[in-house]
Amino acid sequence: MSIPYLSIIIFLPLAGAIAIALLPRADPKRIKLTAAFFTLLSLVLAIALFFMFDRSLAGAQFVERVGWIPPLNAHYFLGIDGLSLPLVALTALLGFIAVLVSWKIELRVREYFVWLLVLETGILGVFCSLDLLLFFLFWEVEILPMYLLISIWGTGRKEYSAMKFVVYTLLGSALMLAGILLLYFHAGTFDMVELAQLGLGPALGSLLATAIFFLLFFGYAVKLPLFPLHTWLPDAHTDAPTAVSVILAGIMLKMGGYGMIRICIAIFPQIARTYAPLIIVLALVSILYGAAVTFRQRDLKRLIAYSSISHMGYVVLGLFALSQVSISGATLQMVSHGLIIGLLFALAGLLYDKVHERDITRLGGLARQMPIMVVVFSVAGLAALGLPGTSGFAAEFLVFLGSFRSTMVAGIQIYTVIGVLGLVLTAGYILWMLQRVFYGPPKADYEGAADAGKLETFYALVMVALIMLIGIYPRILTDVINMGVLPILAPFG
Amino acid sequence: MPEVALAIFLLPIFSFVVISLIIRPFLNKRPQLSWYVTIASIGASLILSLWMLVEVIKAPGHVLPMPDYQWLVIGDTSIHLGVMADSLAAVMLIVVTVVSLVVQIYSRGYMHGDPGYCRYFAFMSLFTGSMLGLVLADNLLFLFVFWELVGLCSYLLIGFWFHRPEAARAATKAFIVTRIGDFGFLAAILFLYAKTGTFDIGELQHLALVGAIGGTALTWAAIGIFSGAVGKSAQFPLHTWLPDAMEGPTPVSALIHAATMVAAGVFLVARLFPMIASSYEAIMTVAIIGGFTAIFAATMGMVMNDFKRILAYSTISQLGYMMLGLGVVGVGVARGAVALEVGLALGVAVGIFHLFNHAFFKALLFFGAGSASHATGTFDIREMGGLRKAMPWTFATFLIGSLSIVGIWPLAGFWGKEQILSQAWHYAPILFYLAMITVFMTAFYMFRLLFLAFGGEYRGGAHVSLRESPAVMIVPMVLLAILSVVSGWLPISEFLGGESHSFFGALASPMAWASLLLAALGILLAYAIYSKKWISAESMRRRFAPLYTIVSRKYWFDELYENVFVVRILVDGIFALFHWFDDHIVDGMVNGIAGGTIAAGREIRRLQTGQLQAYGLAIFIGILAIIAFFMIFG
């Protein structure tokens, strides 16, 4: 038997969590080092996987499949293809960085890292599962740690935000579960690869297939989040501790986009096509409305959170434009946004630690005190507004290019141009934010505020390097992603 | 050898990388190094550009074959990047490298001792490299990438002194206003790609000329592209960012106004001229916007009191001339009045020849502004005066620059302007008359500036001892002054395929005399008001009070855009409505529905304060129960 790489990557963080829970002495330093060790190991393996991945194969690789619940025909079935590999790598990276971001945590350190690591295992599992029941199980794993992390280590109205997150997610999960079960009762399998090949849409009759499609879609639309299901996001992101915001915005939102492509579109291509205009309109509302509301935010974290809604709209636009280039672009956008928003949240948290202020109207002139922060924050901001040379441009450009040329959706050119308008708004709120936070005369209140330390500079520069690498040489990911997109578009001929 | 062309733009970018990754972090004690690296890289680019110019001159049809690299392949979409070495690129390379090099030399004096010295030269290198890449790009995507990087560098350099709120605001404004234009540009790129499956400029032009893309589609694409140029070249109605952009260090202004950034818009129209000129509506738009901007900006230039602001309006006005030149020839082509091949080359020649000459005298004028403020500590011309005596070099060179921009024979500015006027005369008489009036206005505002700043007696504070700037600033000015005289004598126009002109022959045309007369009248009026004070400026202002208010308030465009449109209509209007909607309707509805759940949650929390793990455990057990349920009953 070959080495079960995926299982190892997925469960390394969980192993770390167990190790931390069992550590004899609750020395914070040791706990943090243990957490860093296990997540780093997982990251190293994920990177190795990235290089071992065969870029000429379309199907799933590193497959592990063993019987799990025989009466249900459910399997412990893992595998990754071009769509999941970049997201697995992103998760492993942000998982490790989240530990570094949490280095200054002092409250209930042991529990904090236990939950953080359990969370990572759950997300990794989602991206690797090829069995729907297993997928669902992993999907649910994140709820408890997330609830606790926000409500205990958060700030502001943390209980409210945590509860709101849970209510939304559970509502989405409940509908998704209903969809999964309906699917199972009619197809007799949880095997996602098989389900995608069955051509279920026509077989089930349009009403039932549509119902299942939207039950599943709802769960992902909550997570992504798509307008009008987005209001949990600003609360949760704002009140969560920094590292959790990084994970939440950086990877968990991508579970929504991933679910849409991997399950909704792959299993019900025809229905996806039928309802694409409706979904794309919601995506455009997310892009423009999200950007408009972002303009109004005074809280730095909340501003970044709202910008996420706008940027995830591009993912949905690209996915449901249903062309090879647009879906590749959308997947690239998930990775790119994960890096950019992860970095932005990490920096916003860091900024708060240094000056104890998140109200943009009261900040200002920090560029002088924080020469490193201003550079990194600017790069992340410029990437968010889609500056060429950064991943943001490569991804959004591919989304637009692919969408505009798509032949699958009527009127897509007009939708795409409306989407491009979002770039102007993004430039507006990002630059306005940078101006109000960093520029202007230095303020006496923040006299002597420290800049980013060595550790922070290290992980920030790593992320900057990746953002620029993908921006300058997007093939490093698109060649992989493309292999994952091909089978999904096969039903369209 | 063709790969050497890549070095032309990669060298300055490399300089940026070296300064920001090596010199700034590790050798910050010796900031001078960053200057040396910058000078070396741009100097090398200049030498390579000269080499390329020679090669292009020798090449048949003035085009060199260049390599092409694959950047991205997804399915049947394959994106190539490559460079284009033709006469247009060759001329632009010379403009950019020469002006940039001179600006860097001047900057050494101007930026001496600034705490951001390394950062300054890093950005300047990137700025130059990006502009060179833009000029060399052979396809729209590649061009757009550098187009945006040029915009980024302007942002960074305009906001260079970021602790000044005006600088930060001006930087943001420049980026966002130009990005509004870029929206149209990007949409046009997508549109053209969807229609033709290519980004390649040569192919696109070919397709437009043979009629494979045409009609309304082509018009929209051309107008989209032109909207990008309108933003970058600060044409009406996206002109508002450029006058504010003077918040950056003065050498930056020189570079922005002369050879990079604003030149990019004119270059873009020239680069895609065959395509844009294939649509009569589009090219007419170019001509009208250009002609209107020329006179519109000139009116504002006549009443400003800030040295650099006057120059900024003069730039907008001159860029309008260039657009006008491109536009009117294109109109001739579109009407069939000129043979296609001849007309296409002629249009580019007319527009770019003026850009070429303008680059030198405009950089010179900004250097003069920098030198004058270096001595007086202000840019307000009401607080200057009498600089002629204390700063003879600055005065002499500034006078040459002024005469050149006004278009006095035989200085550089004369030649390009004459070509534009004569083309306008042929194809768009109304625009021709506007352009002639602009000549008068240009002469007036430039000499108003000159008399106020350099003439009369010093009006500033007594504590300032006026002194001429150091040699490191004067030498570049003298160099540019020479170019401002002779650049028009170079056969640039012929090289680009335009008309040739003879040194004295130009004076045979009555139009030349008409424009010289108007220029002289403008100078005379400025002399009468500001030097001899035969006419009181104050009484003029009172007599034309309403007009003066309108113009000096810049037609209220800043208020309209910023206060009314952005703040009132968008941020505090529509966006505020959305914000309210989000908080009260979208979220309110959800909170209402979830109210019961939340209340229940509150109860549980009250019961189990501090026992959150237990509470969480309950959720977990619940999930396990669900799964167990399916395992048993599924």
Looking at residue B378, the DSSP 8-state letter turns out to be -
Mean pLDDT of B455-471: 79
Q: Cα(B233)–Cα(A128) distance, rounded to whole angstroms?
A: 51
SS3 B151: helix
Assigned domain for A413 exists: yes
Pick the residue with more confidence: B505 or B198? B198
* A contact residues 102-141, partner B, Cβ 8 Å cutoff: 111, 133, 137, 140
Listed in sequence order, the residues at least 6 apart from B517 whose beta carbon sits closer than 8 Å to its beta carbon are: none
* CB of A480 closer than 8 Å to CB of A55: yes
pLDDT of residue B576: 84
Tokens for A203?
């077989």
Pick the residue with more confidence: B455 or B364? B364
Cβ-defined contact of B74 to A441 (cutoff 8 Å): no
Q: Cα(A475)–Cα(A230) distance, rounded to whole angstroms?
A: 32
B568 band by pLDDT with thresholds 50, 70 and 90: confident
Mean pLDDT of A22-32: 85
Cβ-defined contact of B587 to A231 (cutoff 8 Å): yes
Q: Does A78 touch chain B (CB under 8 A)?
A: no
Partner-chain residue, chosen from A160, A228, A435, that has the shortest CB–CB distance to B169: A435
* CB of A358 closer than 8 Å to CB of A348: yes
What is the chain A residue with the closest CA to B587?
A231
**Does the structure show a pLDDT above 80 at B464?**
no
Query: Above 0.90 for ipTM, yes or no?
Result: yes
pLDDT of residue A107: 86
pLDDT of residue A37: 95
B366 band by pLDDT with thresholds 50, 70 and 90: very high
Cβ-defined contact of B630 to A148 (cutoff 8 Å): no
* CB of B78 closer than 8 Å to CB of B72: yes
Cβ-defined contact of A137 to B594 (cutoff 8 Å): no
CA-based torsion, A38, A39, A40, A46: positive or negative: positive
**Does the structure show a pLDDT above 70 at B346?**
yes
User: What whole-number percentage of chain A has pLDDT above 70?
Assistant: 99
* B contact residues 546-605, partner A, Cβ 8 Å cutoff: 570-571, 574-576, 578-579, 582, 586-587, 590, 594, 597-598, 601, 605
pLDDT of residue B129: 94
pLDDT of residue B150: 94
Q: Does A398 touch chain B (CB under 8 A)?
A: yes
Neighbours of A73 (CB within 10 A): 16
Q: What is the pLDDT of residues B391-412, one digit of tens each?
A: 899 999 999 999 999 988 888 8
Q: Which residues of B touch A423 (CB under 8 A)?
A: 179, 182-183, 186
Assigned domain for A337 exists: yes
pLDDT of residue A1: 54
pLDDT of residue B634: 45
Neighbours of B594 (CB within 10 A): 18
Mean pLDDT of A33-38: 94
Name which of B285, B296, B297, B361 is nearest B323 in CA terms.
Answer: B285
* B contact residues 71-90, partner A, Cβ 8 Å cutoff: 71-75, 77
> Is the preceding omega at residue B12 within 30 degrees of 0, hence cis?
no
**Does the structure show a pLDDT above 70 at A49?**
yes
* Residue A25: burial class (beta carbons within 10 Å; 0-12, 13-18, 19+): exposed
Assigned domain for A350 exists: yes
Assigned domain for A386 exists: yes
Q: What is the pLDDT of residues A134-188, one digit of tens each?
A: 999 999 998 899 999 999 998 888 988 998 898 888 889 999 999 999 899 888 8
Cβ-defined contact of A144 to B587 (cutoff 8 Å): no
Q: Does A420 touch chain B (CB under 8 A)?
A: yes
Mean pLDDT of A64-85: 91
Q: Does B537 touch chain A (CB under 8 A)?
A: no
β-strand pairing of A74-80 with A61-69: antiparallel
Distance from CA of B215 to the nearest CA of A (A): 18
What is the residue whose two structure tokens read 């999200």?
Answer: A290
pLDDT of residue B613: 55
Give B402's Cβ-side CA count (13 Å radius): 27
Q: Does A417 touch chain B (CB under 8 A)?
A: yes
Q: Cα(A119)–Cα(A109) distance, rounded to whole angstroms?
A: 15
Number of inter-chain CB pairs under 8 A, A vs B: 166
| Interface probe, candidates B582, B603, B608, chain A, greatest A C-beta count within 10 A | B582
Q: Cα(B33)–Cα(B37) distance, rounded to whole angstroms?
A: 6
Assigned domain for A352 exists: yes
* Residue B92 identity (one-letter amino acid): M
Name which of A116, A149, A105, A108 is nearest A26 in CA terms.
Answer: A108
Name which of A322, A301, A45, A266 is nearest A156 in CA terms.
Answer: A301
pLDDT of residue A151: 92
* A contact residues 344-373, partner B, Cβ 8 Å cutoff: 365, 367-368
Cβ-defined contact of B578 to A292 (cutoff 8 Å): yes
Neighbours of A35 (CB within 10 A): 30
What is the residue whose two structure tokens read 């001339």?
Answer: B321
SS3 B549: helix
* B contact residues 604-623, partner A, Cβ 8 Å cutoff: 605, 612-613, 616-617, 619-620, 623
* Residue B87: burial class (beta carbons within 10 Å; 0-12, 13-18, 19+): buried
Cβ-defined contact of A424 to B183 (cutoff 8 Å): yes
Tokens for A266?
């792959």
What is the chain B residue with the closest CA to A285?
B578
Assigned domain for A367 exists: yes
Cβ-defined contact of A441 to B194 (cutoff 8 Å): no
Cβ-defined contact of B71 to A475 (cutoff 8 Å): yes
Q: Which of A124-128, A219-223, B419-423, B538-542 is least confident?
A: B538-542
* CB of A19 closer than 8 Å to CB of A114: no
Partner-chain residue, chosen from B586, B617, B620, that has the shortest CB–CB distance to A228: B586
Q: Cα(A141)–Cα(B316) distance, rounded to whole angstroms?
A: 61
| Interface probe, candidates A286, A309, A401, chain B, greatest B C-beta count within 10 A | A401
**Does the structure show a pLDDT above 90 at B146?**
yes
Most confident of A26-35, A484-493, B291-300: B291-300
Distance from CA of A54 to the nearest CA of B (A): 17
**Does the structure show a pLDDT above 80 at B598?**
no
Q: Does B169 touch chain A (CB under 8 A)?
A: yes
What is the chain A residue with the closest CA to B165?
A440
* Residue A421: burial class (beta carbons within 10 Å; 0-12, 13-18, 19+): middle
From residue A330, give the alpha-carbon distance in Å to each of A382, A397, A482, B221: 19, 10, 11, 25
Give A40's Cβ-side CA count (13 Å radius): 9
Assigned domain for A207 exists: no
**Does the structure show a pLDDT above 70 at B606?**
no
B622 band by pLDDT with thresholds 50, 70 and 90: low
Q: What is the pLDDT of residues A409-438, one digit of tens each?
A: 888 999 999 999 999 999 999 999 999 998
**Domain residues for A481?**
269-487
Q: Cα(B450)–Cα(A468) distance, rounded to whole angstroms?
A: 47
Exposed e or buried b per residue across A101-110, where buried means at least 16 C-beta atoms within 10 angstroms of its C-beta: bbbebeeebb
Assigned domain for A31 exists: no
Q: Does A182 touch chain B (CB under 8 A)?
A: no
- φ and ψ at B137, to 5 degrees? -55, 135
pLDDT of residue A262: 93
**Does the structure show a pLDDT above 80 at A125?**
yes
Q: Does A404 touch chain B (CB under 8 A)?
A: yes
β-strand pairing of B85-86 with B77-82: unpaired
Partner-chain residue, chosen from A163, A365, A424, that has the shortest CB–CB distance to B180: A424
Distance from CA of A13 to the nearest CA of B (A): 19
Q: What is the pLDDT of residues B50-108, one digit of tens each?
A: 999 998 888 888 888 887 888 888 888 888 888 888 889 999 999 999 999 999 998 98
Average pLDDT along chain A: 91
Mean pLDDT of B288-307: 92
Cβ-defined contact of A405 to B194 (cutoff 8 Å): yes
* B contact residues 175-204, partner A, Cβ 8 Å cutoff: 175-176, 179-180, 182-183, 186-187, 190-191, 193-194
Q: What is the pLDDT of residues B475-506, one digit of tens each?
A: 999 999 999 999 888 888 888 888 877 777 77
Q: Does A423 touch chain B (CB under 8 A)?
A: yes
Cβ-defined contact of B74 to A478 (cutoff 8 Å): yes
Q: Does B346 touch chain A (CB under 8 A)?
A: no
The secondary element (H helix, E strand) that includes residue B126 is helix B117-136
Mean pLDDT of B365-393: 87
Q: What is the pLDDT of residues A393-409, one digit of tens each?
A: 999 999 999 999 988 88
Give A256's Cβ-side CA count (13 Å radius): 29
Q: What DSSP line would sit under B435-498, residue for residue? A: HHHHHHHHHHHHHHHHHHHHSS---S-TT----PPPHHHHHHHHHHHHHHHHGGGSTHHHHTT-
CA-based torsion, A349, A355, A356, A360: positive or negative: negative
- Sequence-ordered strand ranges (E) for B67-140: 68-74, 77-82, 85-86
Q: Cα(A320)–Cα(A221) distance, rounded to whole angstroms?
A: 13
Distance from CA of B135 to the nearest CA of A (A): 16
Q: What is the pLDDT of residues A102-120, one digit of tens each?
A: 998 888 888 999 999 999 9
Q: What is the pLDDT of residues B25-39, one digit of tens each?
A: 888 788 888 999 999
What is the chain A residue with the closest CA to B182?
A424
Q: What is the pLDDT of residues B507-565, one digit of tens each?
A: 888 888 899 999 999 999 988 888 888 888 888 888 888 888 888 888 888 888 888 88
- Total number of domains in chain A: 1
- In three state form, how does the secondary structure of chain A look? CCCCHHHHHHHHHHHHHHHHHHCCCCCHHHHHHHHHHHHHHHHHHHHHHHHHCCCCCCCCEEEEEEEEEHHHCEEEEEEECCCHHHHHHHHHHHHHHHHHHHHHCCCCHHHHHHHHHHHHHHHHHHHHECEHHHHHHHHHHCHHHHHHHHHHHCCCCHHHHHHHHHHHHHHHHHHHHHHHHHHHHHHCCCEHHHHHHHCHHHHHCHHHHHHHHHHHHHHHHHHCCCCCCCCHHHHHHHHCCHHHHHHHHHHHHHHHHHHHHHHHHHHCHHHHHHHHHHHHHHHHHHHHHHHHHHHCCCEHHHHHHHHHHHHHHHHHHHHHHCCHHHHHHHHHHHHHHHHHHHHHHHHHHHHHHHHCCCECCCCCCHHHHCHHHHHHHHHHHHHHCCCCCCHHHHHHHHHHHHHHHCCCCCCHHHHHHHHHHHHHHHHHHHHHHHHHHHCCCCCHHHCCCCCCCHHHHHHHHHHHHHHHHHHHCCHHHHHHHHHHHHHHHHHHC
Q: What is the pLDDT of residues A186-229, one digit of tens each?
A: 888 899 998 888 877 676 777 888 999 999 999 999 999 998 88
pLDDT of residue B384: 86
